[in-house]
Amino acid sequence: MRPDLTTPHPDQARRVCAIGSSPDGVVVASAAGEGPASGQGEGTVFLLLAGPAMDDARPLLSVDSGLLDLQPVTAVGYDAGRLAFASGGLLYVVDVEEGTGYQVRGVGEVDAIDVSAGTVAWSSPGGPARVLTGEDDALSLFTLPGDMVTVGVDGDRVAWTALDDAGGSLTVGRLRW
């Protein structure tokens, strides 16, 4: 079976700076306005694309470029009304239903984010992976052991790959806090 790769979403085809998966569809971060994909320009728009042809576009959030210190968005994830994205060494977590959010400083470069309900996991190229979980007023941050390749979450279950001299290994664990 061959995938149909002939129909990009017309509004997003040239300006995408990051994409992520969601149980509800694909979340896309793209540069607002005209121009190339940089995530800078006039700001960044986050959409949830769903439906059989990804033609149902639901706006999630729009962020002014000044709030991101003109840094591009490098990774994005979404689930259950919670949007997480990385830009300029910061991780932003936003409850799009409530319009509230916070930022996590010192995360460094982020190349992948996964979100499941109240849990956000991210990985950095050649560095550790981290998991942020809990309620907004009682958050717990975990650094997973080993040099990470990638990390994924489903509720309080976390799976990650760690590299060592023998190659990569898959670890699956449960968060307890």
Per-residue pLDDT at 137: 74
**Exposure of 22 by Cβ count < 10 A (0-12 exposed, 13-18 middle, 19+ buried)?**
buried
Residue linked to tokens 């509720």: 155
Extract the tokens encoding 137: 């007023």
Per-residue pLDDT at 14: 54
Per-residue pLDDT at 113: 95
Cα(60)–Cα(92) distance, integer angstroms: 14
Instruction: Compute how many other C-beta atoms are within 10 angstroms of the C-beta atom of residue 52.
Output: 6
Q: Which residues touch 65 (CB under 8 Å, ≥6 apart)?
A: 40, 41, 42, 43, 44
Per-residue pLDDT at 11: 52
Question: For each of the chain's 177 residues, which pLDDT tens digit applies?
Answer: 444 444 455 554 557 889 998 999 999 999 886 654 444 457 899 999 987 777 788 999 999 877 777 788 999 999 989 999 999 889 999 999 998 999 998 888 998 999 998 899 999 887 788 999 887 678 888 888 777 678 889 887 888 887 766 767 777 777 654
Extract the tokens encoding 27: 């979340």
Per-residue pLDDT at 39: 44
Instruction: With H, G, I as helix, E, B as strand and everything else as coil, classify residue 67.
Output: helix
In the DSSP assignment, the letter for residue 5 is -
